[in-house]
Amino acid sequence: MTLTTTLVLTVIGEDRPGLVNAIAEKTTEFGANWLDTRLVSLGGKFAGIVLVSVSQANADALVGALQSLRSNSLSLTLERRADAAALTPARAMTLELVSHDRPGIVREIAGVLAGNKVSIEELETDFVSGSFSGENLFKARARLRAPLELDVVVLRDMIENLANELMADISIDEGLTN
């Protein structure tokens, strides 16, 4: 059995063709397995997070090769990830929100979640024009990780109260994850 190391790579820089290819070339060169990715171009900048698994024997060499991609226009950070098996069982939840846009929406939602020990594993937001009214709308979708002992009824009540304050539509659904 080959021992492996999991690396989390974050990258941000000027958006240009070939950035993903450069990272993929280095990971392939050292036999790394590309596990999970979130890549996006925002405002002319390219930003991404890549999760790779590599044999422990090749981990340091891969880190060095990836660091060689750094430049004035490309920032890159590498972290070794904790073993996924160490994560405690938790309740998986999803949250969706649509609201008239205003400052503070993310802070309000994040505050309620943090106060209930709910982690935001993934958050995607959009600023859009309403189809009929033309008003600016804020949309958010989040994948959450909540402790098993969380009282979901209490969380739902808090989210509903917040929805009323924000004049927003917020839904929260649950499942179970490990």
> Structural domain boundaries of the chain?
4-85, 90-177
51 neighbors 122 (Cβ within 8 angstroms) = no
pLDDT in tens, 6-42: 999 999 999 888 989 999 999 999 999 999 999 999 8
Q: Is 4-85's fold the same as 90-177's?
A: yes
Q: For 4-85, CATH number? A: 3.30.70.260
In this predicted model, what pLDDT tens digit does every residue of 151-165 receive, in sequence order? 999 999 999 999 999
Question: For the whole model, what pTM was predicted?
Answer: 0.74
Beta-carbon contacts of residue 75 (< 8 Å; ≥ 6 apart): 11, 12, 13
| Segment 98-109, tens digit of pLDDT | 998 889 999 999
Lowest mean pLDDT among 41-55, 79-93, 99-113, 122-136: 79-93
Beta bridge partners of 120: 144
The CATH class given to the 90-177 domain equals: alpha beta
DSSP string, 69-106: T-BTTEEEEEEEPPPGGGSPPEEEEEEEEEEE--TTHH
Sheet holding 90-100, edge to edge: 119-129, 136-147, 90-100, 168-177
Mean of the per-residue pLDDT values for the chain? 90
